[in-house]
Amino acid sequence: MKAIPWRRAIGCLAPVLLSGCDVLRLGVVGHAGPIAASQWHLYLIVGAVLVFVAGPVLLLTPIMAWHYRLSNKNSAFKPNWDFSWWIEALIWLPPVGIVIGLAIVLWTYTHTLDPYRAIPSAQPALEIQAVALDWKWLFIYPDARIATVNELNIPVGRPVHITLTSGTVMQSLMVPQLAGQIYAMAGMTTQLNFAASRPGIFRGENTQFNGAGFQNQKFAVVARPTADYRQWMDRVRANGQPLDAARYARLAKRSVIARPLFYASTPPDLFSHIVAQIPEKRR
Amino acid sequence: MSAGDMRHAGINLGTTDQETHDQAEPDIFGFWIFLMSDAVIFALLFAVYGTMLGATVGGPTAASAYKIGPTFAETVILLTSSFTFGLGSIAMKHGASNRVLLGWFAATLALGLAFLGLELHDFATMIGDGAVPTRSGFLSSFFALVPLHGVHVLAGCLWLIVMMVQVPIFGRDARVKINLLRLGLFWHFLDIVWIAIFSVVYLQGLIR
Amino acid sequence: MTDGIWPALLGRFTWNALAFVRAWQNPTVNEIIGAGAAMMVVLGAASVITLITVTGKWGYLWREWLTSLDHKKIGVMYVVLAFVMLARALAEAVLMRMQQAAAVNAPGFVEPDHFAQLFSTHGSIMIFFMAMPFLTGIINYVTPLQIGARDVAFPLLNSISLWLTGGAAGLMMVSLVIGRFSTGGWTGYPPYTELAFSPDVGPDYWISAVTLGSIASTLSGLNFAVTIYKLRCPGMTLMRMPLFCWTTLCTSILMIFAMPPLTVATALLALDRYLGFHFFTNDLGGNMMNYANLFWLFGHPEVYILILPAFGAYSEVVSTFSSKELYGYTSLVLATMAIAVLSFTVWVHHFFAMGQSANLNAVFGIATMTIGVPTGVKIYDWIWTMFRGEVRFTVPMLYSLAFMMTFVLGGFTGILLAFPPLDYLVHNTLFLVAHFHNMLIPGLLYGMLAATHYWFPKAFGFRLNEKWGRIAFGCWVFGFYLAFMPLYVLGAGGAARRSQAFFEPAFRPWLYVAGVGALILLAALTALFVQLWVSIRERDANRVFAGDPWDGRGLEWSTSAPPPEYNYAVIPVVDGRDPFYDGKRDGDGYAVPAGYEDIAVPRNSMVGPATGILGAGLAFGLVWYIWWLAVLCLAGIVATVIARSFIRDVERIVPAADVARIEDRWHHAIAAARPISRHHETTPANQGLAEVTA
């Protein structure tokens, strides 16, 4: 009688728990490129060090409190004892040492994982220009003169260099499985370097709240093998429509886009005009 | 001079009025803290002004918008008003007659109002020339920083008027004295801020 | 004609601005929730007013509380305000958790715009109108007592601070009924909050409320700093002050220097919105990065403004309930000061991802980690205080222990976030939300609750119910872990904060758990209210009039509970760090003075209430473009201040005979009381006279 509800409960919970663990695969744990892999590596290093920082407190607090409880007649009671140089040294010096050690790690990794730093590679980086709009992302491929909305296609193994700006309020672009985020601001540009090391579809998003459509502002990063990537590009060129001033003006209005859009051509200096806010001022 | 005679920066009443002096200690100290907090506001506006210097967006620049002549006159007037206020404070400390005291304060008030009049005239000229705060980030930061000092001077003038009413009514009781000490600090503080404005803001207009 | 008159009278107010009208016209679940909240505000206010009127308590309330300049009463009013606002903001949090749990690939029941108002009010209220009033209230009550003073340095200014805070909090409540609140979050980042993107009244409500609160906090900080520097009793050197006073001092210094950046940030945003300036706009040279710097130049020290008083409270609680001197007093003072100074050097870590150079990010990252050292030292100091002590697991002590073990986890994730490359991945996600709740719930809320339980008997003369206190404690701790640990996981999976809906089925189980946690937190608050109710009902059994229920150490325990309005009949003279504890051991803890003198206390003043109401009126006028109201209120404030400067009769004398009568009654009670041993301090046998043992 008693066992059945338990079993049923476990039966119900198991898929929940399993799907629960999937959540981590959506983030840096499921890294799919060198930058995210390196970041995950750093998580493990820092996390391991921090176990030794947090551990003693987590152990000592309950031990001290319980051992020196009022009802324990066997514990020492020295109400006027309030200082020891040994303990002072113990609580000041090791933390200082740990922080110095971590500072060296921090300095090194902050430089190697600087989002502005190009990824060393035999291939030249794929240049992408990303424009944050309400509530969608416009990706311009300046070399191929094509553009997409809410879907970023990249070749596997080749470094990607994104230059970002915003056509509206400040936003932040992140693809957790590939790299960390960087803000996009109107009138300014920021940069992000990353690469995908395996084919797949990775979720990208804006993480900076920007209005009623914020939660819908997700995009897919589709990493394709090089040949596949070329075919995709040809398809866009063949089937897409041109992104002209009128279409951009419509795109720049606040709206949620249900499906990704693909444009076969773009005006030559669209991105720099957006940065300089030329379309805005001419209106 | 023993430590007890001189407890806070500024004019101390120790040798002439020990009782008020003791009471003044926390009051004046508190007002110093207030001024330092206010100084943070000005410091931040100076910093914002510094970052906005280049944000002229094709509009008026420091060189084209500022007139050094009138601002120099304003500087002289405000510094003089600090001097007259200082003489008033000394008169208060040593028990001069109300007429002397009010005379110095009236002079200070007149100079303060003259400063405000000239400053308003400056702003009107700038606005007439198209240098309006809505034109650019640079002008926005100018019109946040400099008029805020003007508003402080206005508040100082209002305060001075209230004190000029209170001196005849209450004579020189402890609160009048302490408030005059505070007002003195405020007035001199505004001088210092103005010197910073004159050097950082207006003198830069001379750099072509 | 009407075109001309109504806008001039009512600004941009229209009937549609009323939540009830919106719900009537468009009765969706979303609008009905909004109208329901508005109804609760209106009914709540109406029932409080009715209750006071029916019981005829207006006169009492006005004389004894609202116009009072007594730091103890002002402190209590601050804490009451904090609890009211806590109730609202916690309810909003529960609503948000329910919405997110319901909205995985589904619309849920709260629309995006409404959801955005929820997280904006939740954050703004919790920081500015729950946390700040809470700690200001506790500081107000405790600090003057601890340093042997009769009041704060500027009692009237204290009342003005309270009322400005209250006015601003009232404005937050009004925004539920009339109009709408900002959707820009508690940080109000432009350009989203600029007129171009948020033309409604929401950001104006936010600007007004936060600016009023910010000014009030600056004035409070000034007041406490002067109190501590200038009003300490003879013998109370800085290094003899109780640690709570040290943290008060550091918090005050932070308030004095860190609130102005917030005032500047909101004022410049207001200039943009009202007068068309270009500080943070997208066009004509505006630069929102200036806002980010100004805001976080306030925002990071603010974290320590919030946390340091709790650290002070823990120091008092751990020492008292370990029956032992505080370990490493000097160390703790140095650590507190180090934290206060370092807190000004780390603000860039709030926007590592804004594209600064790696050098800059690394410097700020290292500075951030450095704060971990003094913070860690403090935690160890409390652990070593328990060492060789006799620990009593009272409610405040339980909060302290839960704090130490929970806070260290927040520190763990804080160091992770201090690494710029790691921050890039979890910034703006629920991981960050989990982190700062993990710091502020143990680091502020537990601390303030510990302080409330610890000093409540002092303030009201009876102990709080222990059983309900433990139930509430259990719910706060258990609920916290359930509500926020899942958010770490979700954030690591890339779940953006401030999302009204999610599209990953894998998020669902974690959101469910977090939702249950939020409900338990609501139960925790309910348990606190039940505890208060039960404690008041059985107050006669739990009186501790003699004033020292916990075998206390500092001066605040050497008066009756509640203390007389003048605090100390004779200003104490101290010669050590735990003056009352040592005094009790030396046999002169309750020495009867040879005679009493007249004592001057500040007279009540209506300047505080007037300033608060006029300040709120000014803000309301600005929000709705009702210019006549704004101008009138501003003129009213100036007139009030000037009028007050003409009033000379500001003190009331408590005659020596009255003092003698009050003090004699207390000394008789002490003589009649039975000393209580530590084993029985939580029983009704505790009359507030501690048994003196080793």
**Domain-located, residue A100:** no
Could you say which residues from 566 to 595 on chain C have a Cβ atom under 8 Å away from some Cβ of chain A? none
User: CA-CA distance, C667 to C560, in Å (whole number)?
Assistant: 9
Nearest to C442 by CA among A76, A57, A18: A57
Token pair of B175 as six digits: 């609160």
Nearest to C144 by CA among C656, C568, C596, C546: C568
The strands making up A190-194's β-sheet, listed across from edge to edge, are A190-194, A160-166, A126-133, A136-141, A146-149, A261-265, A241-242
Q: Report if pTM > 0.90.
A: yes
Put simply, the answer to whether C424 touches A179 (Cβ < 8 Å) is: yes
* Chain A CB contacts of C489 below 8 Å: 20, 23-24
User: CA-CA distance, B139 to B145, in Å (whole number)?
Assistant: 10
- DSSP-derived secondary structure for C197-222: T--SSHHHHHHHHHHHHHHHHHHHHH
Nearest-CA distance from A193 to chain C in Å? Answer: 12
- Of the candidates A188, A209, A280, the beta carbon closest to that of C283 is on A280
Q: Domain holding A177: CATH number? A: 2.60.40.420
State the alpha helices, DSSP H only, in C178-278: 202-230, 243-275
User: CA-CA distance, C106 to A87, in Å (whole number)?
Assistant: 56
Q: Are C468 and C499 in contact (CB under 8 A)?
A: no
Q: Is residue C278 within 8 angstroms of chain B, CB to CB? A: yes
Token pair of C669 as six digits: 């009670």
- Rounded to an integer, the average pLDDT of C344-354 is 96
Picking from B23, B42, B48, B161 by the largest number of C CB atoms within 10 A of its own CB, the best residue to mutate is B48
- Rounded to an integer, the average pLDDT of A199-226 is 96
**Domain-located, residue A237:** yes
Q: Is residue C122 within 8 angstroms of chain A, CB to CB? A: no
Q: Tell me, what's the ipTM?
A: 0.95
pLDDT at C589: 87
Q: Are C406 and C438 in contact (CB under 8 A)?
A: yes
Percent of chain C scoring above 70 in pLDDT: 99
Put simply, the answer to whether C420 touches A106 (Cβ < 8 Å) is: yes
Could you say which residues from 83 to 142 on chain A have a Cβ atom under 8 Å away from some Cβ of chain C? 83, 87-88, 90-92, 95-96, 99, 102-103, 106-107, 109-111, 113-117
Picking from C361, C380, C553, C677 by the largest number of A CB atoms within 10 A of its own CB, the best residue to mutate is C380
Which residues of chain B are at the C interface, by a Cβ-Cβ cutoff of 8 Å? Answer: 25-26, 29-30, 33-34, 36-38, 40-41, 44-45, 48, 51-52, 55-57, 133-138, 140-141, 143-144, 158, 162, 166, 169-170, 173, 175, 179
Put simply, the answer to whether A20 touches C506 (Cβ < 8 Å) is: yes
Percent of chain C scoring above 90 in pLDDT: 96
Query: Using only C-alpha atoms, what is the Rg of chain A?
Result: 26
Report pLDDT digits (tens) over A80-133: 999 999 999 999 999 999 999 999 999 999 999 999 999 999 999 999 999 999
pLDDT at B7: 66
Enclosing domain of residue A153: 126-282
**Domain-located, residue A202:** yes
The full set of domain ranges for chain B reads 40-206
According to DSSP, residue A24 is labeled H
**Domain-located, residue A272:** yes
Put simply, the answer to whether C498 touches A209 (Cβ < 8 Å) is: yes
- Of the candidates B25, B30, B51, the beta carbon closest to that of C154 is on B30
pLDDT at C3: 65
In order of their start, the domains of chain C are 1-56 (no CATH), 57-543 (1.20.210.10)
Residue B25: pLDDT band (50, 70, 90) is confident
* Chain C CB contacts of A29 below 8 Å: 492
Report pLDDT digits (tens) over C233-248: 999 999 999 999 999 9
Question: Which chains sit next to A, with 3 or more Cβ pairs under 8 A?
Answer: C
Q: Tell me whether strands C599-602 and A261-265 are parallel, antiparallel or unpaired.
A: unpaired
- Rounded to an integer, the average pLDDT of C435-464 is 97
**Domain-located, residue A55:** no
Token pair of C137 as six digits: 């209230």
pLDDT at B204: 85
Kind plus residue range of the DSSP H or E element containing C305:
helix C288-321
Q: Is residue C328 within 8 angstroms of chain A, CB to CB? A: yes
Picking from C279, C282, C641, C651 by the largest number of B CB atoms within 10 A of its own CB, the best residue to mutate is C279
Nearest-CA distance from B173 to chain C in Å? Answer: 10
Put simply, the answer to whether C271 touches B140 (Cβ < 8 Å) is: yes
Q: Would you put residue C625 in left (φ > 0), alpha (ψ -120 to 50) or beta? A: left
Q: Is residue C489 within 8 angstroms of chain A, CB to CB? A: yes
Mean pLDDT of chain B: 91
Put simply, the answer to whether C355 touches A281 (Cβ < 8 Å) is: no
Number of domains making up chain A = 1
User: CA-CA distance, B26 to C227, in Å (whole number)?
Assistant: 8
pLDDT at A7: 60
Q: Would you put residue C607 in left (φ > 0), alpha (ψ -120 to 50) or beta? A: alpha
Percent of chain A scoring above 70 in pLDDT: 91
**Domain-located, residue A3:** no
Q: What sign for the dihedral angle of Cα A89, A94, A95, A97?
A: positive
Residue C383 in 3-state DSSP? helix
- DSSP-derived secondary structure for chain B: --TTT--SSS---TTT-HHHHHHHHHHHHHHHHHHHHHHHHHHHHHHHHHHHTTTTTTS--HHHH--HHHHHHHHHHHHHHHHHHHHHHHHHHTT--HHHHHHHHHHHHHHHHHHHHHHHHHHHHHHHTT--TTT-HHHHHHHHHHHHHHHHHHHHHHHHHHHHHHHHHH-S-HHHHHHHHHHHHHHHHHHHHHHHIIIIIIGGGG--
Nearest-CA distance from B42 to chain C in Å? Answer: 9
Q: Tell the residue number behind the tokens 């970052």, with chain if given.
A: B51
pLDDT at A280: 41
Mean pLDDT of chain C: 95
Q: Are C430 and A24 in contact (CB under 8 A)?
A: no
Q: Is residue C275 within 8 angstroms of chain B, CB to CB? A: yes
Q: Tell me whether strands A241-242 and A160-166 are parallel, antiparallel or unpaired.
A: unpaired
On the question of pLDDT at A28 being above 90, the answer is yes
| CB-neighbour burial class of residue C570 (10 A; exposed 0-12, middle 13-18, buried 19+) | middle
Q: Is residue C383 within 8 angstroms of chain A, CB to CB? A: yes
Q: Which CATH superfamily is domain B40-206 in?
A: Cytochrome c oxidase, subunit III, four-helix bundle (1.20.120.80)
* Chain B CB contacts of C225 below 8 Å: 33
Residue A242 in 3-state DSSP? strand
pLDDT at A16: 59
Residue B6: pLDDT band (50, 70, 90) is low
Report pLDDT digits (tens) over A243-261: 998 999 999 999 999 999 9
